[in-house]
């Protein structure tokens, strides 16, 4: 099973993540957990989230990039679900050996993520916080799927990213099933 943890604070206004999510939803083994739909009061059902993670081999974190990081509810999900003694620390081995894929969209075009650009650093400089969140829990880290310029990107290019996303999920599911 693939757990897709989706965190978009304004899903009705989404363009890029909506397209990506629809592509992923079509993959049979994907279970989508939409955090802002499920927990509008920020009261995360930690037991339910953990149950899904335990049943999953691939964990996807999909969200728009916000302040170079994850939206607030995704961050709270990290704080509460990946707690010490469960996913980290002594006896915290629940996610060891699982795989993590980060899927994110940025408002800025890729040119913004260069030394002279508006965000000052290459995008790779902003990856380690997410990467180490996964690795600290003992998960394997896959190359992230990043869509830059989420508001300007042409429909065809966005659809290409969505197709790649879907293909990566299908490949993972096929490999996990032994074929
Ligand atoms: C509060 C907030 C913070 C944001 N921070 C960033 C940022 O750090 N870097 C960036 O490139 N875009 C940033 N954006 C733009 C979003 O990433 C962009 O609107 C989103 O990826 C578009 O995806 P969507 O069509 O699914 O909504 C931010 C947007 C908001 C509302």
* CATH number for the domain harbouring residue 97: 3.40.50.360
Q: What are 114-138's pLDDT values in tens digits?
A: 999 999 999 999 999 999 999 999 9
Closest atom of ligand 1 to 150 CA is 22
Total domains, the chain: 1
In angstroms, rounded to a whole number, what is the distance separating the alpha carbons of residues 58 and 165? 13
Provide the residue range defining the domain that includes 103: 2-176
Total-model pTM: 0.98
Residues with CB under 6 A from ligand 1: 8, 13-17, 64-68, 105-108, 150
Q: Find out whether 92 and 85 touch, Cβ atoms under 8 Å.
A: yes
Q: What pLDDT score was predicted for residue 178? A: 86
Q: Find out whether 113 and 106 touch, Cβ atoms under 8 Å.
A: yes
Q: Half-sphere exposure (CA, 13 Å, Cβ side) for 113? A: 18
In angstroms, rounded to a whole number, what is the distance separating the alpha carbons of residues 131 and 151? 25
> What confidence category does residue 179 fall into, taking pLDDT thresholds of 50, 70 and 90?
low
């Amino acid at each position: 099973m693939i757990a897709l943890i989706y965190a978009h604070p304004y899903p009705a206004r989404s363009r890029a993540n909506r397209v990506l999510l629809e592509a992923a939803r079509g993959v049979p083994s994907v279970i989508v957990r939409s955090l802002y739909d499920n927990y509008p009061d920020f009261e995360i059902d930690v037991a339910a989230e953990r149950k899904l993670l335990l049943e999953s081999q691939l964990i996807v974190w999909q969200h728009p990039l916000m302040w170079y990081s994850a939206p607030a509810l995704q961050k709270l999900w990290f704080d509460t679900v990946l707690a010490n003694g469960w996913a980290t620390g002594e006896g915290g081995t629940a996610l060891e050996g699982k795989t993590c894929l980060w899927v994110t969209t940025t408002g800025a075009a890729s040119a913004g993520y260069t030394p002279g650009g508006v965000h000052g650093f290459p995008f790779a400089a902003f990856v380690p916080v997410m990467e180490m969140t996964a690795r600290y829990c003992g998960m394997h880290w896959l190359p992230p799927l990043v869509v830059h310029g989420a508001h300007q990107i042409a429909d065809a290019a966005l659809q290409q990213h969505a197709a790649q996303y879907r293909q990566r999920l299908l490949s993972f599911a096929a490999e996990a099933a032994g074929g």
